[in-house]
């Protein structure tokens, strides 16, 4: 096994044709048998991986290099998701324009080579796989939500997620209804995920303004949720499933696949088991 194949497996599972901007191989390598994977693997975790004899370290979140400098590119996936849900393209693009540009500038200010340079110094293969695994998680959650009709309640949607995914049952966090009420009907539902980070108030508003009744985020700042509640009251629903639990919903199928490939995979740094 090599790092190229590790990335390719994730792309294949997510149905993506190319490596997205927030994912990268930071130090290539081959002959990989033992893998350490977690949600955040940086300098300290690389030292642990090296000391414990792992052949490769995989972080979910971006850790530098092109995955930091090109992170803003994947935010454009929000545009595609909004358009697919019925938001006019010009509105979707305008909704994301300032966010994408702000993130591009902020990323250029980062010490983008810090963690990759540690991997090179230690001589350990190192990559991060973000959007592909989030896309796997988004599709799994969307499929679970699609099993309910529009007349189902938000409470029933939350129950469906708990029943379907052990990651939510095993998490220390809870799925929360931040806007709307548990007894509301779900209506038309969108899982807004797999696009770098959540779209905050602007993206949820665009969905609500164009026929979506329930938006599912994996995380949302309190100020954004308050703005949505102030504008839409209890007429729309924002369900927040939890960052780390939701990331794990996308990561665990990838871990299973690597084990099927014959790799010895150790999970840590936040990955919540499905059982």
What are the pLDDT digits (tens) for 226-251? 999 999 999 999 999 999 999 999 99
Rounded distance between C-alpha atoms, residue 187 and residue 237, angstroms: 9
Rounded distance between C-alpha atoms, residue 143 and residue 132, angstroms: 17
Give the 3-state secondary structure of the chain.
CCHHHHHHHHHHHHCCCCCCCCCEEEECCCCCCEEEEECCCCHHHHHHHHHCCCCEEEECCCCCHHHHHCHHHHCCHHHHHHHHCCCCHHHHHHHHHHHHHHHHHHHHCCCCCHHHHHHHHHCCCEEECCHHHHHHHHHHHHHHHHCCCCCCEHHHHHHHHHHHCHHHHHCCCCCEEEECCCCCECCCEEECCCCCCCCHHHHHHHHHHCCCCEEEECCCCHHHHHHHHHHHCCCCEEEECCHHHHHHHHHHHHHHHHHHCCCEEEEECCCCCCC
Report yes or no: 126 and 116 within 8 Å, Cβ to Cβ. Answer: yes
Residues 6+ apart with CB under 8 A from 90: none
How far lies 205's CA from each of 189, 219, 230, in Å? 13, 15, 11
Low-confidence residues in the chain, pLDDT < 50: none
Rounded distance between C-alpha atoms, residue 32 and residue 56, angstroms: 7
The order of strands in the sheet holding 24-27 is: 24-27, 126-128, 56-59, 34-38, 264-268
Q: What is the pLDDT of residue 173?
A: 98
Q: What is the pLDDT of residue 111?
A: 97
Q: What is the pLDDT of residue 110?
A: 95
pLDDT in tens, 179-206: 999 999 999 999 999 999 999 999 999 9
Report yes or no: 57 and 125 within 8 Å, Cβ to Cβ. Answer: yes
Q: Which residues pair with 127 in a beta bridge?
A: 25, 58
Rounded distance between C-alpha atoms, residue 186 and residue 212, angstroms: 9
- How high does pLDDT run on average in the chain? 98
Cα angle value 92/96/97 (rounded, 5°): 110
Rounded distance between C-alpha atoms, residue 207 and residue 140, angstroms: 20
């Amino acid at each position: 096994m090599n790092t190229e194949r590790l990335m390719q497996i994730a792309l294949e599972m997510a149905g993506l044709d190319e490596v997205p901007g927030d994912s990268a191989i930071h130090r290539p390598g081959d002959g990989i048998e033992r893998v350490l994977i977690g949600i955040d693997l940086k300098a300290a975790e690389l030292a642990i991986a090296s000391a414990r004899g792992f052949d490769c370290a995989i972080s979910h979140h971006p850790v530098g290099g092109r995955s930091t400098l090109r992170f803003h590119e994947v935010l454009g996936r929000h545009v595609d998701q909004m358009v697919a849900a019925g938001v006019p393209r010009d509105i979707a693009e305008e909704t994301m324009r300032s966010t994408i540009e702000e993130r591009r500038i902020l990323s250029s200010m980062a010490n983008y080579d810090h963690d990759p340079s540690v991997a090179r110094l230690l001589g350990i293969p190192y990559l991060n796989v973000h959007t592909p695994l989030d896309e796997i998680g988004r599709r799994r959650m969307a499929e679970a939500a699609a099993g309910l009709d529009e007349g189902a309640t938000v409470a029933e949607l939350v129950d469906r997620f708990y029943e379907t995914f052990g990651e939510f049952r095993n998490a220390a966090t809870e799925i929360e209804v931040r806007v709307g009420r548990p007894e509301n009907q779900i209506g038309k539902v969108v899982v807004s995920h797999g696009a770098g980070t959540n779209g905050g108030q602007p993206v949820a508003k665009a969905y609500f303004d164009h026929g979506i009744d329930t938006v599912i985020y994996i995380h949302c700042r309190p100020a954004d949720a308050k703005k949505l509640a102030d504008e839409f009251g209890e007429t729309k629903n924002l369900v927040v499933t939890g960052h780390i639990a939701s990331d794990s919903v996308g990561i665990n199928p990838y871990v299973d696949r690597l084990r099927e490939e014959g790799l010895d995979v150790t999970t840590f740094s936040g990955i919540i088991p499905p059982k």
